[in-house]
Amino acid sequence: MYYKCPRHHLEQDIATALVWIFTPASFIHTRVPRQGFEQDLTFAEAVYRECQFLFVDEADRVQIQFDEEFAPDEVLVDASGNSFLNKLGLNLATIYNSDRGDMAGDRFVAWTSAHYHTQNATNRIYHLLLTHSQLVEWLGSLPFTGRSLFARIIRDLVDPPEITVAPKPKLNRQQIMEERRKRIIEADLAPTEQRRQRKRMMDELDGFLQYPLNRRRGGELSDLALTILTAENDRQALAEITPWCERWLETHYISLPDEAQFEELIRNLQFAILVAVLDNRLGFLVDNLSDLGRVMNLHDLNQDLLHRPPKDFLPVLPESSVGNILGFLYKQERSHKKAGKLDYFRYVGVGRALLLNFPKLFAVDGWEGPHTVLISGTSYAPGSPAYHISIKPTMLLQPRTGEAGIAESQFFFSPQQNREANYIALSGLPPIRRKLAAKEMVEAMCYSARRAESFLDRVFQDLEQRKQQHPQWWNDRDRILIVVGSYEESEWVASILQSRYRLEIMDEGGIATLRRDNAPPHLPGIPRSEIRNLKHLSTQIVVAPLMALERGHNILNAQGKAAFGAVLFLNRPMPIPDNWQSTVQQLNAWALKYEKDSTLYEEAQSTLGNLTLTQVADIFYQNAAAEMINLNYTAWSFKQLTKDERSVLCWTQLVSIWQIIGRLVRGGVPAVVHFIDVKFAPNSSIGEQDSESTSLLVAIIKVMEPYIESEDMLVRSLYGTFLNALQQMKLRNLNYD
């Protein structure tokens, strides 16, 4: 029946097809049909064995996606209301409003029980983090799990850290990072007996850490966990923990005469117990969430955590340089006085190594992989750990239309003023203030005093004038793309525009927001995959997130030219503070850079002589851990960035900006580019000079100029005209030396 069933025709064709086409996710996760292949393989393995060539388009973007596949993360709780657990709770509420017929299955009952314990533990954890600053300080900036917290508690008891009171010299951020790295690398191992005691104490807790809510396997600590989860307040919870802790310390001959130390220990134990419960129950909840798709609406829920990296690749990929991690990370949010962000993530390997080492991935088994060709116009971006491919390009394909499009494009710094004549900033604002600022920004762009033309009117008129002068470039391109930071912001900005701005030539669909492809079909807007059909719509203004249109979209008019004539960058693009994926990208780039660099071990060799493999691994891990901690302390403010941090930011953001502009120069036509947020060049807005430490635009110019001046042919060919367009802004209103 399988070979006659129409539903399986595609699977049958795979075995005889000459060309296979994949998305990055299907390449890694999808398994080949067992009816067509003898062995159980992923498609990546099948490509390795069966194909002669592998072409990877947008290779730099694929590199990022492969990193993400082996280090998925999710915001569990934050102040925005859009976090994973907030959305999950709202989606589950629809079931409680039904006849509850879906609750008949045992698995659903088990899942809802796990969901209850997950939300309960999270609420109590978040409460502790918000009300006890000492606990936040104790956690620091490192990832944690229930097991790691208990290990730390035991280490502090058995081998207490030395307390020094000597005054510390005032250091700048770069010096602080070096001192932090030095402390980690020079840390001595505890004496053998202390290590044995720590292991004995951890072994005793193993049953609880594996089964925290199972009384039979977890013992007394599981009883304690269930009691804590039903305690009415902290005082009651601590009262339950105290007698257990006293017996525990007495059993191991540990004395804590200082009452303050004992109270801190009790609080840390309470937190560790709750994290152990969350760790366990959240894992069950996530692993079984896909089954709930039949009875719950999961369209707006990020499901990256649901897709575990296949174990097939783990033996041939370098493991994470800081060890395989599954855990949590808490960060206080600068934009909120009290609330913080609790992340959950896995980090099991260097994902980009699957791409960069693919032709030799299974060479140890005697298999030679296909000839692999990596293709991208922005994969050479020195300084960007996200986009830069460490394998230097060997061929440069010149566009048939030349560089006339970008060479004739014009860039403008166009900050907007509110009714009090203050320039409006979006970047760096907390969510509530940013939403109000975005509304103010849109109103300013639509405002026309005493029948004067609004900013948007002038942009449309500019496009019309250009069409009159050069119809071959500008005909049927009277459309504006407004770039914002997220889908939520896109919807908000579009709604304000629709109520504030109208042109005679516009109908109801004249202003549209870009939507996720899996958004409910009844919502207004253009699905992301349908934006390529813009030429068939009456839409003249599209509001879209930066990353949604960064790649893979040819948005053309009927003449095969770029449909948009102008793009407005409403906010200065900046990475999300404490973004885990940014940390992973930089760690992975660091790991591949230093994996064969012997300079990392020179200092140790000078004192220890020839190093063993274990010593080399320890030194590599210590340096990687120091790198991760420093990355977790990256400055939130653009002005506070070190030179190296600013270089990373500029190279990464210039690629994203350039990719968006690339949508507007398709077919060799020019574009009009406006940078709206005053944060792009705050000093220039008031007639003063900007520098690389105040302006992202100036910083991008400064970071690219040395490569052009050194006659780096790749940078000159890829970004030369883009840099020239940025430099031409100096003739208008971008002030810098």
User: Which amino acid is located at 197 in the chain?
Assistant: Q
Of 588, 706, 695, nearest in space to 649 by CA: 695
Is there a contact between 389 and 356 (Cβ–Cβ < 8 Å)? yes
Residue-wise pLDDT for 204-234, tens only, equals 998 999 899 998 999 999 999 999 999 989 8
Is there a contact between 11 and 20 (Cβ–Cβ < 8 Å)? no
Neighbours of 300 (CB within 10 A): 14
Count Cα atoms within 13 angstroms, Cβ side, for 643.
Answer: 4
Query: Would you place residue 76 in the very low, low, confident or very high pLDDT band (cuts 50, 70, 90)?
Result: confident
pLDDT at 577: 65
Angstrom CA distances, 135 to 147, 162, 534, stand at: 17, 19, 52
- Same-domain check for residues 154 and 285: yes
Residue 25 counted as domain residue: no
Distance of CA 114 to the CA centre of its chain: 27
Rounded CA-CA distance 594/600 in Å is: 7
Q: What is the DSSP secondary structure assignment for residue 397, as one 8-state letter?
A: P
Query: Would you place residue 164 in the very low, low, confident or very high pLDDT band (cuts 50, 70, 90)?
Result: very low
Query: Would you place residue 271 in the very low, low, confident or very high pLDDT band (cuts 50, 70, 90)?
Result: very high
Which CATH number belongs to the domain containing residue 551 in this structure?
3.40.50.300
Neighbours of 70 (CB within 10 A): 27
Residue 581 counted as domain residue: no
Rounded CA-CA distance 184/169 in Å is: 19
Residue 303 predicted with pLDDT over 60: yes
**Which H or E run contains 383?**
none
User: Which amino acid is located at 680 in the chain?
Assistant: F
- Provide mean pLDDT across the span 181-207: 71
Rounded CA-CA distance 322/79 in Å is: 29
Is there a contact between 381 and 657 (Cβ–Cβ < 8 Å)? no
Is there a contact between 494 and 543 (Cβ–Cβ < 8 Å)? yes
pTM: 0.81
pLDDT at 307: 64
- Same-domain check for residues 553 and 674: yes
Of 53, 216, 178, 135, nearest in space to 642 by CA: 178
pLDDT at 156: 85
Which stretch of 124-128, 169-173, 413-417 has the lowest confidence by average pLDDT? 169-173
Residue ranges making up the domain that contains 290 = 73-306
pLDDT at 622: 87
Residue whose tokens read 């100096």: 730
CA dihedral 313, 318, 322, 326 (to 10 degrees): 0
pLDDT at 435: 94
Residue 148 predicted with pLDDT over 90: no
Residue 672 predicted with pLDDT over 70: yes
**Could you tell me the two tokens for 545?**
């997130």
Cα–Cα–Cα angle for 476, 477, 480, nearest 5°?
Answer: 140
Which stretch of 244-258, 400-414, 696-710 has the lowest confidence by average pLDDT? 400-414
Q: Computed from CA positions of residues 408, 413, 418, 424, in that sequence, does the dihedral angle turn out positive or negative?
A: positive
Residue-wise pLDDT for 24-37, tens only, equals 999 999 888 877 67
Query: Would you place residue 502 in the very low, low, confident or very high pLDDT band (cuts 50, 70, 90)?
Result: confident
Domain end position, chosen among 306, 339, 357: 306
Residue-wise pLDDT for 427-476, tens only, equals 988 878 999 999 999 999 999 877 789 999 999 999 999 999 999 999 99
Is there a contact between 72 and 310 (Cβ–Cβ < 8 Å)? no
In terms of average pLDDT, the best of 144-148, 334-338, 483-487, 641-645 is: 483-487
Rounded CA-CA distance 145/581 in Å is: 19
CA dihedral 27, 22, 587, 331 (to 10 degrees): -100
CA end-to-end span of the chain: 74
**Could you tell me the two tokens for 60?**
């730099």
Angstrom CA distances, 197 to 43, 103, 147, 158, stand at: 47, 47, 16, 8
Residue 14 predicted with pLDDT over 70: yes
Residue 102 counted as domain residue: yes
**Which H or E run contains 56?**
strand 53-56
Q: How many domains does the chain fold into? A: 2
Residue-wise pLDDT for 550-563, tens only, equals 776 789 999 999 99
Query: Would you place residue 167 in the very low, low, confident or very high pLDDT band (cuts 50, 70, 90)?
Result: very low
Percentage of the chain exceeding pLDDT 70: 88
Domain end position, chosen among 263, 286, 306: 306
Query: Would you place residue 293 in the very low, low, confident or very high pLDDT band (cuts 50, 70, 90)?
Result: low
Rounded CA-CA distance 201/64 in Å is: 41
Query: Would you place residue 39 in the very low, low, confident or very high pLDDT band (cuts 50, 70, 90)?
Result: confident
- Provide mean pLDDT across the span 647-654: 94
Residue 119 counted as domain residue: yes
- Same-domain check for residues 566 and 698: yes
Residue 688 counted as domain residue: yes
- Same-domain check for residues 412 and 525: yes
Domain end position, chosen among 306, 336, 365: 306
Query: Would you place residue 188 in the very low, low, confident or very high pLDDT band (cuts 50, 70, 90)?
Result: very low
Residue 88 counted as domain residue: yes
Residue 53 counted as domain residue: no
Which stretch of 179-188, 611-620, 687-696 has the lowest confidence by average pLDDT? 179-188
Q: Computed from CA positions of residues 700, 702, 708, 713, in that sequence, does the dihedral angle turn out positive or negative?
A: negative
Residue 290 counted as domain residue: yes
